[in-house]
Amino acid sequence: MSETIPAHLSLEELDRQTLLHPLTHVSRYASGNSPQRVVERGEGVRVIDSHGRSVIDGFSGLYCVNVGYGREEIVTAMAEQARTLAYYHVFAGATHPQAIALGARLLEMAGPRMKRVFFGLSGSDANETQVKLVWYYNNVRGLPKKKKIIARHRAYHGATIMSGSLTGIPLYHGAFDLPFGLVRHTTAPDPFWGGDMDPARFAQQCADDLDALIRAEGPETVGAFIAEPMIGTGGIVPPPPGYWALVQEVLRQHDVLLILDEVITAFGRTGAMFGSDVWGIEPDLVSLAKGLTSGYAPLSAVLVGERVWEALKEGSDRHGILGHGFTWSAHPVCAAVAMANLDIIEREGLAANAREVGAFLRAGLAARLAKHSIVGEIRGEGLLAAVEFVAEGAPRRHLPKEWAFSSRVSALCLEEGVLARPIPFGDIIGLAPPLILNREDAALIIDMVGRAVDRAVSEH
Ligand SMILES: Cc1ncc(COP(=O)(O)O)c(C=O)c1O
């Protein structure tokens, strides 16, 4: 241990003196002035901290533990794979049975539009790969200027240089000299803040804005549009009716590829195996991670559709072998975990459960919170739910920033026994519990969030 770190520190103190944490106020944390929780165990939908306190994980870690904690079947698959073949790569024609099985399974699940799978480790690297594929595609087509990528404000696509640029959240840009040059952002499809427009009209407005941006940039310079099927980290907002049909029409007109970031929405989260099934989306490229392994091991996948696959084949004669890949691409232990995880999702019908229990959760929250005029909207899809708080009266306004209302509600939720995430686009708390959630635990969440909101309201 470093000489500057005294021995015999508590776990909490040792952490504050050693780790640089994501999404954390660095100096406050280091000096002990911001919250900290040491999570030691997980069981089903619950996590247990270092004080032995058990709470419902209403956010599945970071929207990822779809099958819940402590699944022996996955643990066994992991151990057996580590024993049989802990590691091998997939470079230069090498492969292994787990990569082959998982690749075939994902293509089968995705349907005939998708032709190949590329494996990585995180949602960020999946989106990084997507951008490289789009650039490669247009180089092969002899369109070297067609390289810009349009993302949406309030998008979250990751935190690396390119995926962080695609992310449409200023916090990820300001101090890091991002976004990187070839990225543009268009309107976030959140009809709640769409003024007086009805949602269908707002969907048209979003498509018109995208069309106008592509024309202003020059369609010959725009390679792809990237989006989540529904806004995730930017506020958990399902798209307004008609949005995806209108947007896809604009993309077709301008020969712009569609990268669908299904890192949150796939594997049952939205009540279907993929978000594209819920909203009728036909992507050229798909990014997968999180629920692919339910967080038991890091793994991402890029699904490559026909157009890009044809260009990759053609390009290899010209450019030689594909200059892209990671040491851990298709890691056998991670692939074995994914196989066991998908077995559970399919066998236990977790997409259907997410649909059914998710609807129960949102309806229960709506009934429990109906008395609070500060609650502007309760929305979601499958087991994704958001409660948005607004100031009273018209026109619609945000609450005073200094109230930090959603952070307060989130802190009170934790006191009541459920982890719910504050989302900083206005005042929103988000829920994304494990897909194994039953009605009894959903009812507990409704009560806990209800009491937390009662308490937060009574403070003002
Ligand atoms: C939609 C979406 N894409 C990409 C990412 C980035 O994934 P990772 O954190 O694994 O890099 C996230 C993470 O939350 C996400 O929600």
Nearest atom, ligand 1, residue 228 CA = 1
Q: How far does residue 162's CA lie from ligand 1's centre (Å)?
A: 13
From-to residues of CATH 3.90.1150.10 in the chain: 37-67+349-458
- The fold for domain 73-347 equals Aspartate Aminotransferase; domain 2 (3.40.640)
What pairs with residue 69 in β-bridges?
44
Any atom of ligand 1 within 6 Å of the Cβ of 68: no
| CA atoms lying within 13 Å on the CB side of residue 157 | 35
Any atom of ligand 1 within 6 Å of the Cβ of 229: no
Query: Looking at residue 394, what DSSP letter applies?
Result: S
Any atom of ligand 1 within 6 Å of the Cβ of 293: no
Convert 327-360 to b/e letters by CB count within 10 Å (16 or more is b): ebbbbbbbbbbbbbbbebbeeeebbebbbbbbbb
Indicate which residue's Cα is closest to atom 3 of ligand 1: 157
Nearest atom, ligand 1, residue 262 CA = 1
CA distance 423 to 108: 35
Q: How far does residue 288's CA lie from ligand 1's centre (Å)?
A: 9
Which one of 157, 161, 226 would you pick to mutate in the ligand 1 pocket, going by the greatest count of ligand atoms within 8 A of its CB?
157
Closest to 422 measured CA to CA, from 413, 53, 352: 413
Indicate which residue's Cα is closest to atom 1 of ligand 1: 263
Give 149's contacts (C-beta < 8 A, 6+ positions apart): 131, 134, 166, 182, 183, 184, 222, 223, 224, 225, 226, 259
Q: How far does residue 455's CA lie from ligand 1's centre (Å)?
A: 32
What pairs with residue 225 in β-bridges?
150, 258
Q: How far does residue 124's CA lie from ligand 1's centre (Å)?
A: 6
CA distance 147 to 166: 13
Q: How far does residue 426's CA lie from ligand 1's centre (Å)?
A: 21
Residue 248 zone, left/alpha/beta (φ > 0; ψ -120 to 50; rest): alpha
Convert 403-424 to b/e letters by CB count within 10 Å (16 or more is b): bebbbbbbbbbbebbbbbbbbe
Any atom of ligand 1 within 6 Å of the Cβ of 228: yes
Nearest atom, ligand 1, residue 62 CA = 14
Any atom of ligand 1 within 6 Å of the Cβ of 157: yes
**In tens digits, what is the pLDDT along the chain, a chain of 460 residues?**
555 666 789 999 999 999 999 999 999 999 999 989 999 999 999 999 999 999 999 999 999 999 999 999 999 999 999 999 999 999 999 999 999 999 999 999 999 999 999 999 999 999 999 999 999 999 999 999 999 999 999 999 999 999 999 999 999 999 999 998 899 999 999 999 988 889 999 999 999 999 999 999 999 999 999 999 999 999 999 999 999 999 999 999 999 999 999 999 999 999 999 999 999 999 999 999 999 999 999 999 999 999 999 999 999 999 999 999 999 999 999 999 999 999 999 999 999 999 999 999 999 999 999 999 999 999 999 999 999 999 988 889 999 999 999 999 999 999 999 999 999 888 999 999 999 999 999 999 999 999 999 999 999 8
The CATH H-level superfamily of 37-67+349-458 is Aspartate Aminotransferase, domain 1 (3.90.1150.10)
Nearest atom, ligand 1, residue 158 CA = 6
Supply the pLDDT for residue 131: 98
- Burial (CB < 10 A; 0-12, 13-18, 19+), residue 285, is buried
Q: How far does residue 117's CA lie from ligand 1's centre (Å)?
A: 18
What pairs with residue 116 in β-bridges?
304
Q: How far does residue 262's CA lie from ligand 1's centre (Å)?
A: 9
- Stated as kind and residue range, the H or E segment containing 459 is none
Q: How far does residue 167's CA lie from ligand 1's centre (Å)?
A: 10
Closest to 415 measured CA to CA, from 388, 371, 449, 442: 449
Give 125's contacts (C-beta < 8 A, 6+ positions apart): 158, 160, 163, 300, 326
Q: Could you report how far apart the first and last alpha carbons of the chain are, in Å?
A: 48
Supply the pLDDT for residue 226: 99
Q: Are 90 and 330 in contact (CB under 8 A)?
A: yes
Query: Which two three-digit tokens encode residue 346?
Result: 């399919």
From-to residues of CATH 3.40.640.10 in the chain: 73-347
Which 3-state string (H, E, C) describes 382-393? CCEEEEEECCCC
Nearest atom, ligand 1, residue 265 CA = 1
Nearest atom, ligand 1, residue 290 CA = 10
Convert 222-253 to b/e letters by CB count within 10 Å (16 or more is b): bbbbbbbbbbbbbbbbbbbebbbebbbebbee
Within 10 angstroms of residue 96's Cβ, the number of other Cβ atoms is 19
Any atom of ligand 1 within 6 Å of the Cβ of 57: no
Nearest atom, ligand 1, residue 289 CA = 10
Any atom of ligand 1 within 6 Å of the Cβ of 156: yes
Any atom of ligand 1 within 6 Å of the Cβ of 129: no
Any atom of ligand 1 within 6 Å of the Cβ of 261: yes
Which one of 165, 290, 302 would you pick to mutate in the ligand 1 pocket, going by the greatest count of ligand atoms within 8 A of its CB?
290
Q: Are 437 and 49 in contact (CB under 8 A)?
A: no
Q: How far does residue 157's CA lie from ligand 1's centre (Å)?
A: 5
